[in-house]
């Protein structure tokens, strides 16, 4: 568990690159039960005016917060997490390779000594454009 005395607002907690493939979307669909064709059928996704097959929003959200859980050292230390979805994450069909590369960085946005918590603000981008905004996790610290 992180110690609040060692943290400062504006401090970076790290960065991560998420390489997302169509196979990842298939695995997530199976685990989540979300088999919406926008996540696997190129023709259907384009018919509903998407740029192609897109990653599940919850997949993107969950993959992004892994940076925080790794930094915290304990997934149970994350006591809340929320975001707004701003842009879809198109995932090209590249023969099993990454069809999308999402960048995630995190900084300490606020500290609450009385509650022993740190708010981590995530920046989540694809090709330099934010795909999640107000992605914030509250983490229990010592």
Chain segment 52-102, per-residue pLDDT in tens: 999 999 999 999 999 999 999 999 999 999 999 999 999 999 876 789 999
**Cβ pair 13, 59 in contact under 8 A:** no
Q: What are the CA-CA distances from residue 40 to residues 20, 48, 55 (Å)?
A: 13, 13, 9
Report the 10 Å Cβ neighbour count for 96: 9
The boundaries of the domain holding residue 9 are 4-140
DSSP β-bridge partners for residue 102: 18, 126
Q: What is the mean pLDDT of the chain?
A: 96
Gyration radius of the chain's alpha carbons: 16
Assign residue 55 the CATH number of its domain.
3.10.129.10
Report the domain count for the chain.
1
**pLDDT > 70: what percent of the chain?**
99
Q: What is the pTM of this model?
A: 0.93
Q: Which of 105, 108, 110, 111 is nearest to 132 (CA)?
A: 105
């Amino acid at each position: 568990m992180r110690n609040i005395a060692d943290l400062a607002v504006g401090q970076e907690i790290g960065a991560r690159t998420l390489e997302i493939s169509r196979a990842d979307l298939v695995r997530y669909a199976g685990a989540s039960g979300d088999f919406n064709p926008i996540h696997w059928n190129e023709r259907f996704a384009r018919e509903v005016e998407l740029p192609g097959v897109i990653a599940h929003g919850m997949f993107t959200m969950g993959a992004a917060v892994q940076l925080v859980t790794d930094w915290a050292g304990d997934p149970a230390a994350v006591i809340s997490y929320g975001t707004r979805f701003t842009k879809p994450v198109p995932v090209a069909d590249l023969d099993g390779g990454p069809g999308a590369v999402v960048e995630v960085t995190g900084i300490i946005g606020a500290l609450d000594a009385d509650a022993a918590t740190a708010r981590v603000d995530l920046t989540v981008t694809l090709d330099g454009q934010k795909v999640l905004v107000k992605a914030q996790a509250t983490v229990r610290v010592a």
